Amino acid sequence: MVVVGTAKNTGKTTAFNALCAVAGRRGIAIAVTSLGRDGEPADALDGEAKPRVRFAAGTLVALPAGLVPRTPALAILESGGPTALGAVVFARAMLPVTCEIGGPPTARAMRSVVRRLTALTDGPVLVDGAIDRIAPLAGGDDAIVLAAGAASGATVSAVAATAAETVARLQLPGRDPSRERARVVAIDGALDAGSAQDLIAHAAGATVVVNDPTRVTVRGALLAALRDAVDLRCERPLRIVACTTSPLGRGVALSAELLVKAVAQATGLPAFDVVSDLAATPMPNGATP
């Protein structure tokens, strides 16, 4: 399961910690890693305090050697490929531990780390992710949780709209030969604004296939126009299962209840506020419970 955010400071690590805590309460052994670098006390860019990452005893963790905490000591199980902070180390927490986590720099290496964690544990693998780095996880059966928060919009509707657009973009359907149009256009690489305009002009009605949803870099009205014009699909789909919401942003405080309902309705996915203990599911008629 991978947690990604619609923007920075949208509650991704808080949601990640909540998942770890739930697993701990239920006695489920988990394995964790990160697609970037998470759990540092303050944001490296803006100095804002950030939630720490804390694991229960028994948690399996993949992290760079340079981030292995001195105390309490981890049991080092094995080491793997390189990262900027040393080799990836697979370790087990022997006591509850707070530490930073990170992962390898390439998609291939991340796939390898997740595979290894899966082999080393009986429980689920949780990945503190990054929306621009989830391509390596496409095509598998990994579940993705999208963290949406006030950091991505000043109003409830703006946050919900951003979440909805992100979900729509990442939930690109997989290729289905039985439903393909007569003309199929395969896009090798990114589908950007220029290629979107070309496709609208010259490939209307065709099935357009990208490698995975992260290759679609076009946004907003142009993306909507493209999806109206062509049957947009991908070779390796992503599976987004839920959203989390964070009503607090820098100088912004939204209604937690309204936000969780709006995000659920806009994305069509169950939404949770793990701090306020709120949940909402989308209703067919537009209402939410």
Partner 1 sequence: MSIDDVTAARIGDDWLRAAVAPAGAFGRRYDETAPAYGPGDEGRASEEIAECVALAQQLAPAALDRLRGALRAVPEPTPIVVRARAGDVLGDVDFYELARFAGTLDELARLWNDAGGTHERTPTRVERLRSLLAPGRDGDGFYLADAFGSGLRAARAELLRAENDLELQRRSIAERVRETLGVVPPGDEFVVMRDLHPDPLPPELRLVRETPAYRVVTFELQTDARDGGFARVAAAEEAARRELSSRIAAEHDDVIAATRALGALDHVLARAAFVQRWGGCVPEFASAIAFEDGILAPLAEQLAARGRRYTPLTLELPGVAVLTGPNMGGKSAALATTGFLCACAALGIPPPARAARLPLLERIVWLGGDDSARQTRLLSSYADEVVRARDVLATASARCLILVDEFARTTGPREGRALLIALLEALRSRGAFALAATHFDGVAEAAKVTHLRIAGLSVATFAALDARDLDAALDAINAAMDYRIVAAEAPDSASDALALAELLGFDRTVVARARALYERPADEPPARG
Which residues lie near partner 1 (CB under 8 A)?
A: 17-18, 21, 65, 68, 70-79, 86-87, 89, 94-96, 248, 253, 255-257, 273-277
Q: Which is nearer to partner 1, 30 or 191 (CB)?
A: 30
Q: Which is nearer to partner 1, 94 or 186 (CB)?
A: 94
Q: Which is nearer to partner 1, 73 or 204 (CB)?
A: 73
The distance of closest approach from Cβ of residue 160 to partner 1 in the complex, given in angstroms and rounded to an integer, is 17
The distance of closest approach from Cβ of residue 273 to partner 1 in the complex, given in angstroms and rounded to an integer, is 8
The distance of closest approach from Cβ of residue 257 to partner 1 in the complex, given in angstroms and rounded to an integer, is 8
The distance of closest approach from Cβ of residue 201 to partner 1 in the complex, given in angstroms and rounded to an integer, is 48
Q: Which is nearer to partner 1, 41 or 72 (CB)?
A: 72
SS3 annotation, the chain: CEEEECCCCCCHHHHHHHHHHHHHHCCCCCEEEECCEECCCECCCCCCECCCEEECCCCEEEEEHHHCCCCCCEEEEEEEEEECCEEEEEEEECCCEEECEECCCCHHHHHHHHHHHHHHCCCCEEEECCHHHCHHHCCCCCEEEEEEEHHHCCCHHHHHHHHHHHHHHHCCCECCHHHCCCCEEECCCCECHHHHHHHHHHCCCCEEEECCHHHECCCHHHHHHHHHHCEEEECCCCEEEEEEEECEECCEECCHHHHHHHHHHHHCCCEEECCCCEEECCCCCCCCC
The distance of closest approach from Cβ of residue 260 to partner 1 in the complex, given in angstroms and rounded to an integer, is 11
Q: Which is nearer to partner 1, 42 or 94 (CB)?
A: 94
